[in-house]
Amino acid sequence: MSKFRFPTAFTILFVLIAVVAVLTWIIPAGAYDRQMNEALGVEAPVPGTYQQVEPNPQGITDVILAPIAGMYDPGLLGSSSSAAIDVAFFVLIIGGFLMVVTRTGAIDAGIGALLARLRGREHLMIPILMLAFAFGGTTYGMAEETLAFYALIIPVFIRAGYDSLTGVAVIMLGAGIGTLGSTFNAFATVVASQGAGIAFTQGIVLRLVILAVCLAVGIVYVLRYAKKVKATPEASLVADMAEENRSHFLKSAETEGETLPELTPIRATILALFGLTFVVMIVGVVGLDWWMGEMAGLFLAMSVVVWIVAKFDAATAMDEKTFVDTFVDGARDLLGVALIIGVARGVVVIMDAGLITDTILQSAEGAVSGLSEMLFINAMFGIQILMSFLVPSSSGLATLTMPIMAPMADFAGVGRDLVVTAYQSANGLVNLFNPTFAVVMGGLAIGRVSFDRWLRFVLPLVIGLALLIMVLLSIGAILS
C-alpha cells in the first residue's frame, strides 16, 4: 500500500487558485468607490460607498492564465510590491551569483573558519542571525531580500550538525517576526498609519513590546528544535532528506568529501566581496530606493567582479566558458523557485478579477460594528488574519483595509494606532506560513523543505504568538 505524499507547492497553489475561482461564482461582486489618497499616493476605498456590481466570475481559462498574469501583476491597488516577474528574475540572478561564489570554494572555506571559531558554541548563530533578520524586518519589511541568504546560511547550519529546516527557520522566522513587530517599516506601519490618518509613531511602544516578546519566543523555539536535531538527527522533520540535502548544499567541486578547502587570501577577498554585496543591497534598499531591478544588477555585476578576482589564484580561477556555465547552472537551480513566485500571485489575480475583494472587506466592516474595546480589537486582529491570506502584500493590505477599518476604532473607543498594530501583527503572523505569499514558498523551495513539514514545525509557534499578540492587544485596548 503506497504512502500518501503531501502535494507539492505548485499543486497546493493551483488548487487555491481554483477554489478562489469557484468563490467568484458564489460571493456577490462588489466595489467601493475609490479616490486618490495623497498621503498614500494611490487610490484607496472610500468608507460607506460599497455597492454590488456586475459579477465577473472566473472560469477555467482564467484559472489557467492566472499564474501567467500573476507574473506581471505589480500588486494590489498599485502598492509598492514588485511584479512577480521582477522578483523571479532577481532570484535567478541570485542563483547564478551564489553558484559562481560557491565554485571558488570561498563559501565552504569561510564556513570551515567560522565553525572552527564557534566550535562547541554553534548554537549562538541562531539568536545572532535571527536578531539581524528581525532588524531588517522591523525597519523596512525585509522579505524578498531574504531569498538571497538561504543558499549561504543553510550550508553553515548543515555543517554545524543541524538540518536545512533550522536554516530556513532562522531566516524566515527572524525576518517574519521582525515584520510582525514592525516599528517604522515604510511598507507596513507607515503606509497603514497614513491610511488611518495618524502619525506612524503612535503606538510604537506596544509594537516594540510585541516585537521583543515574539522574537524572544521565536528564538527559544528554534533553539529547542536545533538542540534536539543535533542530539538526535532522526528527530529532524527532514531526516529522510539529510544525505540528499547535504549533497545539494555542500556541492562545490572541492568539497565533495568532508575536507573543507583552505581559506586562502583570494578566497578571503571573495568572501569580503560577498559580504559587501549584501551590505550594498541593504543600503540601496533603505537609503537609495532600490528595488528588484537595481538589486539584480548589483548581483550580476558582483558575479563578474568575483570571477575576475578568482583569476589571481589557480585554485579558484575559471575561464570565460566555465564562468558562464557556472552562472547559468546556478540560475537553473532556482528556476522552480522563480516559477512558484508567479503561481503564488495567481490567487490574488483571480480574486481581484472576480471582484470579490471589496465584498469580503465590506463583510469584515460589518462584523466589528458595535463591539466593546477588547472584542473590537481582537475581532479586528482575526479579520486581518483572514484578509492576509487573500492579500499577502503588507502595503496592499494596508491600502485596502485601513481607510475602511481605522475610522471604526473611533466608535469602539480605541485608538486608531491599535488598528494599525492589529493589522501589521496579523499580516506578519500569517506570512510566516502563508502559501499565497511568494517569499514563503520561494524560501521553502530553496531550503528544500516541503510545505507540510514547515506547517508541522511552525504552527505551534504561530498559535502561541497569536495568543500572545491577542493578550497584548487587549491590554492596549484597556489602557487606550
C-alpha cell, 390:
487573500
What does each C-alpha distance from 75 to 112, 123, 416, 474 come to in angstroms?
42, 38, 25, 32
Whether 333 contacts 93, CB under 8 Å = no
155 confidence band (pLDDT: 50, 70, 90): confident
Q: Which residues pair with 35 in a beta bridge?
A: 44
pLDDT tens digit sequence for 162-174: 999 999 999 999 9
d(CA 332, CA 327): 9
Tell me the pLDDT tens digit for each residue of 84-106.
Answer: 677 778 878 988 988 898 889 88
The beta strands (E) that lie in 278-423 are given as none
Cell of 86: 521582477
Between the CA atoms of 39, 43, 49 and 53, what dihedral angle is there, to the nearest 10 degrees? -170
Provide the pLDDT confidence category of residue 216 given band limits of 50, 70 and 90. very high
Beta strands in 383-480 (DSSP E): none
CA dihedral (61, 87, 41, 190) positive or negative: positive
Cell 503588507 -> residue: 394
The pLDDT mean for the chain works out to 83
Give pLDDT tens digits for 249-294. 876 434 444 456 788 899 999 989 988 987 888 788 767 878 778 8
- Give helix 373-390 / helix 416-430 axis angle, nearest 10°: 40
Cell of 97: 551569483
Q: Is 183 in contact with 136 (CB distance < 8 Å)?
A: no
Exposure string of 10-20, with b = 16+ CB inside 10 Å and e = fewer, is: bebbbebbbeb
